[in-house]
Amino acid sequence: MRRCCIKRKRNGPETDDEEQSQEEGGPPAPVHARVASLHFGHKPPPEERLRPSGGNHFAAFGGGRFGARRQQDAINFGISLASNFSPGTDLRGFVAMEKLDGVRATWEVARDPPCFRTRRGNELTPPPSMLALLPRDLRLDGELWLGRGRFEQTWAAVQRPQEATWSEVKFMVFDAPGARGGFEERLETARERLGRGGAFAEATSDRVQVVGTRACEDVTTKEALLEHVCQRGGEGLILRRASSRFVAGHSPDLFKCKRWLDAEAKVLKYRAKGKDSLRCQALDSGVTFDLTWNRSTAPPPPGSIVSFAYQLGLQGGPRFPKFLRERPDLEGMLERTGC
């Protein structure tokens, strides 16, 4: 039986630190470092097995330079990041909202003139019709959104400040970092300024609106709300402690919850023999794997960034990876991280 080894990009300092800590009797190497050296088909010891679903997989299939760059960008640009939901998390005091698949953007009122800024720091100028709907004294966080499953169209639409391309784009507000108080207080401030918005998992026709929330204080409610969103073609849930203060970067009070995990990868090459596939390398972990390409359109060229969904295998690699979309909004990060 042929064995396939998971490849992981490692650099000198990380390897040296891990080996030194073990030789000197220090703490063991991180989970993702141990898992990456295992083989498919080889059952790991009980203490090193990973749950195939659930849990915070940032350590198991994440981190690295790309993850560090993402965290640093979030701190620099003042945006919050959600961690993967971990089973056993106490949900008392939490609320849920739909996780949207649009272009993440903050409304920056301190800029002259005010503009949207993406999570990578790129500035987007909306046309006058949308500018007229936005406040000049309240910083907002949200998603530029055309609807479920339309990320690529949204990204293309917002590249130019033209009325025609922005005509259907909505700004879905899910936080107001410029307001005082906990999360629900900040959202209420946004509602007072912008209007009530839709109910949970329901968007209105308004071009600027506040995303609807629902109390979610136990796992049973979480699963019911997640099923409600997924049946309508949504990605999943964002879970947030109602009383939490705004924190740039990762927060212990902010989680994302989906049926499938997702991550980003760089396309290495296209394989046309047998089953068409893309050979990819995960940006966070360096793991290489194949993505089946069964679309009628031309595949993304080598060097492109794509998002993919996956389940976590016992050995840490992506199980059943599925292509989601191309990510032109992330390609600039490769030069800054050296990936």
Residue 281 scores a pLDDT above 90: yes
According to the model, what pLDDT value does residue 7 have?
Answer: 41
According to the model, what pLDDT value does residue 42 have?
Answer: 33
Residue 156 scores a pLDDT above 70: yes
The three-state secondary structure class of 202 is coil
Q: Once rounded to an integer, what is the mean pLDDT over residues 280-306?
A: 89
List Cβ<8 Å contacts ≥24 apart for 153-160.
154/102, 154/103, 155/103, 155/328, 155/329, 158/103, 158/116, 158/124, 158/126, 159/124
Walk me through the domains of the chain, giving residue ranges and CATH numbers. 94-258 (3.30.470.30), 261-337 (2.40.50.140)
State how far the Cα of 294 lies from the Cα of 277, in Å rounded to an integer. 8
- pLDDT digit string, tens, across residues 12-71: 333 333 333 333 333 333 333 332 322 223 333 333 333 333 333 333 344 566 678 888
Q: Once rounded to an integer, what is the mean pLDDT over residues 59-85?
A: 78
According to the model, what pLDDT value does residue 91 have?
Answer: 97
According to the model, what pLDDT value does residue 297 have?
Answer: 85
Alpha helices in 119-277 (DSSP H): 128-131, 151-157, 163-166, 183-194, 219-231
pLDDT band at 197, cuts 50/70/90?
A: confident
64-73, 185-194, 235-244, 290-299, range with the lowest pLDDT:
64-73
State how far the Cα of 250 lies from the Cα of 303, in Å rounded to an integer. 28
Residue 179 dihedral angles phi and psi, to the nearest 5°? -95, 165
Residue 88 dihedral angles phi and psi, to the nearest 5°? 95, -10
Strands 318-326 and 305-312 turn out to be antiparallel
Q: Once rounded to an integer, what is the mean pLDDT over residues 159-180?
A: 95
Residue 186 scores a pLDDT above 90: yes
Q: Chain-wide mean pLDDT for the chain?
A: 80
Q: Which of the pair, 18 or 177, is modelled with greater confidence?
A: 177
Specify the amino acid at residue 313: G
Residue 269 scores a pLDDT above 90: yes
State how far the Cα of 34 lies from the Cα of 81, in Å rounded to an integer. 26
According to the model, what pLDDT value does residue 205 have?
Answer: 93
**Where are the extended beta strands (E) located within 178-293?**
208-210, 214-215, 236-241, 249-258, 261-271, 277-282, 288-292
Q: What does pTM read for this prediction?
A: 0.69
48-62, 148-162, 235-249, 271-285, range with the lowest pLDDT:
48-62
Q: Which of the pair, 53 or 212, is modelled with greater confidence?
A: 212
The three-state secondary structure class of 108 is strand
Angle CA(223)–CA(190)–CA(79) in degrees, nearest 5?
70
State how far the Cα of 92 lies from the Cα of 63, in Å rounded to an integer. 28
Q: What region does 109 belong to: left with phi over 0, alpha with psi -120 to 50, or beta?
A: alpha
- Give the residue from 1, 50, 4, 2 showing the smallest Cα distance to 289: 4
Strands 170-175 and 208-210 turn out to be parallel
According to the model, what pLDDT value does residue 315 have?
Answer: 59
Residue 84 dihedral angles phi and psi, to the nearest 5°? -65, 140
